[in-house]
Amino acid sequence: MIEDRRIETDPSLVFDVSVAGTADRPLVLLLHGFAVSRHLYDAQLPALAAAGYFAAAPNQRGYSPGARPDPSDLAAYDIERLVGDALALVAALGHGDRRFHLVGHDWGGSLSWDIAARIPDRLASLTMLSRPHPAAFTRALREDPDQPHRSRHHKAFQDPGAAAMLLANDVEWIRLRHAANGVPPEATARHLAVLGSPSAMEAALAWYRARGKVYREIGPIRVPTLFVWGDADDTVGRMAAEGTAHFVDAPYRFEVLAGAGHYAPDQMPERVAALLIDHLRQHPA
């Protein structure tokens, strides 16, 4: 059973959070990326609760209406603020002084790499979905002829008219991309209920605009890590995915999902849940 909560981390920040399980169990914080929402983990949260975990998936800054600073203020969407949100949610969920498990997809994966580099002693495990280590990604942009094309939307989203383009024709761009990556229509509908308004879309794009063209550098990760990559992912090529192993100085597992696209938790929910629970059990908090 998933419970909807509104969690305040600051008088100006109230996050919509999906929660499953009891708060005295080990926490699993699951962070979504772009073009989706907390509902990316709707299938995994009950599975985690049944396995004995306390699972929480927030709509992140800009996606939650109560945590949506003006997207023209790019400083409000700096990665320091985004990382701070995640850690503030951990504290608000009652685990501020306890180790926890961290799961990240896409932009939520970028935050998760950063958190793991900063506070490895706080994490029992790290699970990455479709987001290579930043150093592996940067190297692929330089050496893999196909990776710049896969990542072309990063530049396109800097355009002032990007939100209108994405929302045009009943959010056709996202609907087509989801379908090409195997996302069921009902899952797309849940995500667009969060993301499909001009205010939400502009805030989501502020993540890209605040970063600009510079990819943040972090060092090797010293947290047990599972990296799940679909070989039909349209944004992350094999070089970036396989290269991540060189930047994890801890127990590491690379799992390739044949036929999976960029949104594996929606496309292959049972398989992702099984991989995640197995990884967490191998590295208890």
* Per CATH, domain 3-282 is 3.40.50.1820: yes
* The pLDDT of residue 211: 87
User: In terms of Cα–Cα distance, which of 277, 216, 283, 224 is closest to 254?
Assistant: 224
Q: Residue 128: what pLDDT?
A: 98
Could you give the angle at the alpha carbon of 83 between the alpha carbons of 212 and 51, nearest 5°?
130
Which stretches of the chain are assigned E, i.e. beta strand?
3-10, 13-20, 27-31, 54-58, 100-105, 123-129, 225-230, 252-257
Which pLDDT belongs to residue 214? 59
pLDDT at 213: 62
What is residue 216's predicted lDDT score, i.e. its pLDDT?
73
Which residue stretches of the chain have pLDDT < 70? 213-215
How far, in Å, CA of 80 to CA of 218, rounded? 13
Render pLDDT for 126-163 as a digit per residue (tens, 0 to 9).
Answer: 999 999 999 999 998 899 888 888 988 778 888 999 99
Residue type present at position 83: V
pTM check: above 0.95: yes
Query: What is the tens place of the pLDDT at every residue in 44-72?
Result: 999 999 999 999 999 999 999 999 999 99
Q: Which residues neighbour 282 within 8 Å (Cβ) at sequence distance 6 or greater?
A: 125, 224, 251
What does the block give as tokens for 48? Answer: 């985690």
Whole-number pLDDT of residue 148: 83
pLDDT at 40: 98
Return the domain boundaries, the chain. 3-282
User: Under a CB-based contact definition with an 8 Å cutoff, are residues 272 and 228 in contact?
Assistant: yes
- pLDDT at residue number 154: 79
